[in-house]
Chains A and B, each alone.
Chain A
Amino acid sequence: MAWLEREEGVEIHWEERGEGPLVVLAPYSMFHPSVYDPIAAELARDHRVVRYDDRGAGESSRKGPHDMNTGSGDLAAVIEASGGATVIVGLGDATHRAVRVCAERPELVEAIVTPGGMPAGRDRLEHSEAMASSDTVVNAFLSMCETDYRSALRSLVTAGNPQMSEEEIRARVRLQAEYQPQETAVARLRAWVEDDALQAARACGDRLWLLCAEATGGGWFPAGREAAELSRQLFPDAHVEEIEEGIVSRPDLTAAVVRRVTAPLRAAPA
């Protein structure tokens, strides 16, 4: 366990496990970091895996700001502190921060692997079936987060996890609400909703790996084939691959892509 000092006394909590090429698991603002546990365990067999808590969440200082630039600055700092030149694995808004780091500090990023996310503005989803394309839905969700955070979390959890029992849903909501307070979540969510990372993502070129699985995203984002087609249109230089399942149910599929990226690094003498 380590602490990274940032400006104005903010401390970022991070931790690492395993040996090998560096992989940083960038936190997704609406999910508890435990969603990364399966992939972390998988990759730690032959990688050094770092995960951290965003400012305002978990063990890190409960202090903002929570805008995209600050968030990508924190990510870059964690990578630097971890030794640099990493593969970033991230979901949702983490992808937005990751492509910014990659575009601005290419020396820190070997590749970005995202098994669920679309580093572009919501207006790019206009013709998709994704809920994120609907202003009505997004505004309603923001409004709900502001008035009734737990119900908003519940809405996310149930949409993305139809298999969960009532008890599991409640436990997940409780965990997430405790991990990241309402105000932080709302601020981070607003930052994400208003962000368009398209240019930064395109600047990543072929270092961006977009993995598209069916039944991911809980209807908020395009999934599967629709996601793949849209990704190819938006990010012509990126690697776009369709995989069977997402990071939680089949971490090995995402890990396999990471290993393809890090294969040369792992082959090189220490």
Chain B
Amino acid sequence: MACGGALSPTCPNCGTENPAAAKFCIECGTGLGAGGSGVVAPPPGTTPQPPAAPGVTAQAAHPAQSGGLFGGQLPGVGAPAWGSPGAGALPEERRKATVLFADLFGYTAIAERMDPEAVKSIVDRALRRLGQEVVRYGGSVDKYIGDNVMAVFGAPVSHEDDPERAVRAGLAMQAAMEEINKDIPGAADVSFSLRVGINSGEVLAGQVGDGYTVMGDAVNVAARLQAAARPGSVTVGEITHRLTRGAIEYEELEPLTLKGKSEPVPAWEAARVLIPGPATRGARTEAPLIGREDESALLMSMFERVGRESRPHLVTVIGQAGVGKSRLLRELATQIGGRPEKPAFRVGRCPAYGAGLAYWALGEILRDQFELVDTDDSELAWAKLLRGVESVVSDAETDEPPVRIAATIARPLGIEPPAEHAMPTGVHDVDDAQQTRDRLFSAVRSLVEAVSRQRPVVIALEDIHWADEGMLDLIEYLARWVRGPALIVCLARDELLDRRPGWGGGRRNATTISLEALSQDETRQLVAALLPDGNGTGANGQGELVPQVAERSAGNPLFAEEMVNRIREEGSKEVQTLPETVHAVLAARLDSLSAPERRVLQHASVVGQTFWEGSLAGIEEEEGIHLQEALAALQEKDLVIPSAGSRLAGEHEYAFKHVLIRDVAYSTLPKSVRAWKHAQVGGFIEERAADRSEGVVAMVADHYGRAAALGADTEMEHSELERINLKALSALEAAGDAAASLYSNQEALSHYETALSLPGERGSPRADPAVRARIAEKLGDVALRLGRVDQATGVWEECLEFHRGEEDLARVGDLHRKIGAGLWHKGDREGSIEHYQKGIDLLKDGPPCLELVRLYEEAASLYMHTGDNMLAIYASEKALRLAERLGEAAAASRAHGIFGRVFGRIGDSERARQNLERSVELARESDPAEAVRALLTLGYHLEISEADYKGAGAAYQEALELAEQTGDLPSKVELHAALAQLAAHAGDWDAVEREAEASGQLAEREGLTGKLCFPYMMRGMLRWREGRFDEAAKGLRQAADLAEQVGRSEVAFQSLFWLGAALRQRGDHADADTELARALDLCERAGLVAQSVEAISSRAVNLALAGRLDAAREAADEAERLADRLRYPVGKAASLEARGAVAADPDEASAALAEARAAWQGLGRPLDAARCEYLRGRLLRESNPDEARQALERAAAEAKRYGVDHLAELSLKLLPA
């Protein structure tokens, strides 16, 4: 028998058909039929009311807005029902709540035996009594249905311990049943028992019809648990059990098979309460620094040290959320704030959504330094920036002029330097994003150094576990290369080490401070200091709270602080019911705020960790909230703090005191509201940034991207969703482009991936395929830069298919080129050529186009590197002819360059020089960056193939000047090394040292690891000169290995050649032979024909010195044959030397070595000439001692003159008696 109320078998919420007897929807738990919404729970801050009995008209304490699912529509298309104005309206929210269902068991039997009016009266009284227990424990009765009661803990008001409250209420309800049964007339043979089911989880809370309720799977499961509960018991689900097992004793049940659940559900039966009753309240105060004295002292000592030693130090403070990282930083700021030297203390934060925001923290620091705001127009922003940079940087103190530094750092700030400043610096001439990044790092370093020359610098970076990859690289770079007193303090959670396991490790100027939870004693001290009377005296009852709060906070200072704050603000004495997690604390704390304050925080949470007053202006109009008052109250309550400056002019900027507060506020918003609000915020930032949108593009993209993703999950109106999707796509693409231009490839990739993953409007296809293809192609570009070849080629294949369908041959051809290049990265030569060929086949019969030029160009380059010289010439010729037809001077220059290199390799020096000179001419006309490359190539040819050291030197010098102008740092590394090599030929070791140092410093400072082979080689040569052969060998091996690894075969050869010399000098002829054989092997693989003569000759000399004359002569013969054919001056001299070294007849040997000596002298290589004289003296010692003496003395004198003492000593040692 039922209660007599009309039951609805169809759920009003989800439309599910339910069994006739169902009291709650089997799908979503919504109450069915009459009696629902008996009591609407009060809004936060109001006194709970006792429950109304079934059948009694419910008091609608806070009438809901009309329209929409849970309330009124907000202004704006598609705006979801949230935050509508109206007194006491409860907004729709996602909340963590605990739901209790209780059912009077035995009701049917009693109803059969009693008059219906008596039954109703008994049930009314019983449910009213049970409802009292709900209210007593801070819950609210959601509704009565028949003999059932549904109660909610955590909505609309959260407590930190709602699950525990619910279980306690359930047990109290069971206890109350005895009392209820006693009161039933004729109770001797009539009694009820109660079945209680409780479950915790996320619910959607808000108005349905006239009542406030909660919905979701957690509700459904609670109803099912109740139905499965043993009469007289309280049965709870998994989450409830986990959150309450410290306070409640349970008996584990067999997992229950519940209707609507595919898997059995774990369940427990509550036995008894372990920890009894209530506690007290307190008042808030500022948290002192406790338990972090050592860490604070360490930070200070590091600050002192960087000042004393004038060098940088990286400190990373690592610890979980709330453990006290920010507090430690504040302490440092306070301590150094009053110092006479007035240190520059700059703070940059990395937003939680910041993985896509390239150099966000850097931007904050720079804006702070130069007092920039985002609403400055470009002209004003540039003027401020330039003025600011000029005020700290002077030309005399840095390699970079202030204007170039300003122009370089302008980019991440989204400031466009005026053309007259940009052009002379070369900043905008170079497309190479890697170089752009290198220059940015260098400019920031120069700036930090400049500031640090005036006063010590502290750069504090918060939450770097959320920083973009580029920002992390920059931090490490600064820590390594800044020359000046700079303390870099990074705050991070443990997850930083997942991203960068080696962060800061292995360097002497890096320190990691791990912040662990406070000890019990320390936490007690902290809590005692925070409580108004927390010194343990217990004068007003506060003292006894200390150990309880300390225990509950588990050593987390934020947790403790927040608990105390709430105790102070609410005067709560319920220490026993303090929260289990920081999240719960904060959720409860948010609910303890007034409705306007809470609402402001929720709105602000969508903007981000920092927000602007202007971005919240809407709620003033829409909800009648006095924004400034609410913000003032939130500051007063220490939940938000005002920022020192603002990124938007005229806007007050605020930040959440702790990101967790923001996270919790954000988590309460329904997805539909988040979607709509993110779109609003995106629009707000876009509008305010105006012509400076580049600086905020990532932020705009993030908001629109989130709006689009969330909108697709919700019931957003179609046209609105489409509008947001378009905005999101455009913003994400722009953000990707901006990141890619800064070589922030990981961030760019993330933006492009997000753009491509944007869902289409329901039932409609995703974005315009042409736009998707365009973005996908860019995604491939950055993926390749990141070494993700498969990902790159994968998306390019898809793009290729799209463009093929569009019959856009130029794009298809170009994509074949890209795929070919990708495959070549993987070493798949065959696959690479196949794609180049396909592209060429597609375009060759059409009109000339740049895509075809590039296909031939890249094919030529590939062939050259693989030693397919003829194919390289052929492809270069094609590229050249086409480039000439198209008037593409830069492309023509590159083609001539490849031509020249290949001709040089095959020994046709004349044609090589002609082509390389033409390459230089064309490059000079077209592009300074191309000219650097062309001059470098010409210089190498003149040096290696023609031994024209003067010509080579002139080419290198011109290239170096151009590289200076364009800021081409990688080329500078190479050019300094090339000049060092020329100086070594001339025996000018001071110049070698100077140039090698310049090359090495630059490569190391700029982190150009691929170029380090140059300075390594030079340093190896210098060690050889000093006679430190072991060190020389080590350095040269390192240089050779690195050079091979990065595909610099010429450098690898040169390193191996010098390595052979060092080993020979040390007397290790066998090892020397091995290394020279390796050099020859390299020559064969890489087509270094000219160099091979030198290596074979050197091998012959080494073998002769080792007494292996047959092998030596064979090598000398081969060298001679090759030298004759190649008409290569150095080869000729080297082969003559080899001939002399292996000759059996002393006179013949002497003549050949004299000829070789003359040849070396003619080339301007005095040390090689001296070596020939040494060899001659050595060979003549027996046959002609006088001549030998003269030769050895001459060799010694020359070796001494040119600074190679070990050769001089060796010569003198051999003087005949």
Residues of A within 8 A of B (CB): 129, 131, 134, 136-137, 140-141, 143-144, 146-148, 150-152, 154-156, 158-159, 162-163, 166, 170, 219-220
Contacts and interface: CB of A to CB of B under 8 A. Distances in A.
Chain B interface helix/strand/loop/mixed? helix
Contacts of A155: 867-871
B874 interface: yes
B830 A219 contact: no
Q: What 6 A-B pairs are tightest by C-beta distance, nearest first? A: A147-B907, A144-B906, A162-B830, A147-B1125, A131-B874, A148-B1089
A159 B868 contact: yes
Contacts of A158: 866-868
B867 A140 contact: no
A140 B873 contact: yes
Contacts of B866: 158
A136 B907 contact: no
Contacts of A129: 844
A262 B871 CA distance: 39
B1085 interface: yes
Contacts of B1087: 151, 154
B844 A143 contact: no
B433 interface: no
A219 B871 CA distance: 8
B1209 interface: no
B1084 A147 contact: no
B902 A140 contact: yes
Interface string B895-908: 00000001101111
A202 B1126 CA distance: 41
A143 B873 contact: no
Interface string B859-872: 00000001111110
A158 B868 CA distance: 7
B779 to A, nearest CB: 30
24 contacts: A131-B874, A134-B874, A136-B874, A137-B873, A137-B874, A137-B877, A140-B870, A140-B906, A144-B870, A144-B907, A151-B867, A151-B869, A151-B906, A155-B867, A155-B869, A155-B870, A156-B870, A158-B868, A159-B871, A166-B1085, A170-B1084, A219-B871, A219-B874, A220-B870
**Most chain B beta carbons < 10 A, residue from A131, A154, A155, A163:** A155
Nearest to A130: B874
Contact of A143 (B829, B907, B1085): B907
A150 B1122 CA distance: 11
Contacts of B903: 140
B869 A144 contact: yes
Given A143-B906, A148-B1126, A136 B869 contact: no
B916 to A, nearest CB: 15
A252 to B, nearest CB: 24
B529 interface: no
B952 interface: no
A154 B867 CA distance: 8
A166 B1084 CA distance: 10
Contacts of B830: 162-163
A182 to B, nearest CB: 9
Nearest to A135: B877
Nearest to A145: B906
B833 interface: yes
Given A147-B1089, A148-B1126, A151-B1087, A134 B906 contact: no
A151 B870 CA distance: 11
Interface string B829-844: 1100100000000001
Contacts of A151: 867, 869, 905-906, 1084, 1087, 1089
A213 to B, nearest CB: 16
Nearest to B876: A136
Contacts of A134: 873-874, 877
Contact of A147 (B829, B844, B1126): B1126
**Most chain A beta carbons < 10 A, residue from B870, B905, B908:** B870
Contacts of A166: 1085
A52 to B, nearest CB: 29
A131 B871 contact: yes
Interface in B963-1012: none
Contacts of B874: 131, 134, 136-137, 219
Contacts of A220: 870
A159 B870 CA distance: 8
B589 to A, nearest CB: 69
B1081 to A, nearest CB: 9
A116 to B, nearest CB: 17
Given A141-B870, A154-B1087, A155-B871, 18 more contacts: A140-B870, A140-B873, A143-B906, A143-B908, A144-B906, A147-B1089, A148-B1126, A150-B1084, A151-B1084, A152-B906, A154-B1084, A156-B870, A158-B866, A159-B868, A162-B830, A163-B830, A166-B1085, A220-B870
A135 to B, nearest CB: 10
Given A134-B874, A136-B873, A148 B867 contact: no
Contacts of A143: 906-908
A196 B833 CA distance: 31
A70 to B, nearest CB: 26
Contacts of A141: 870
A129 B905 CA distance: 24
A152 B870 CA distance: 9
A162 B902 contact: no
Contact of B1122 (A137, A148, A159): A148
A166 B1122 CA distance: 23
**Most chain A beta carbons < 10 A, residue from B906, B911, B1089:** B906
Contacts of B1122: 148
Contact of A136 (B833, B877, B906, B1125): B877
Nearest to B907: A147
B992 to A, nearest CB: 31
B277 to A, nearest CB: 81
Contacts of B869: 140, 144, 151, 155
B829 A162 contact: yes
Nearest to B831: A162
Contacts of A148: 906-907, 1089, 1122, 1125-1126
Nearest to A148: B1089
B898 to A, nearest CB: 12
Nearest to B834: A162
Interface in B899-927: 902-903, 905-908, 911
A140 B871 contact: no
A137 B880 CA distance: 14
A126 to B, nearest CB: 14
B200 to A, nearest CB: 64
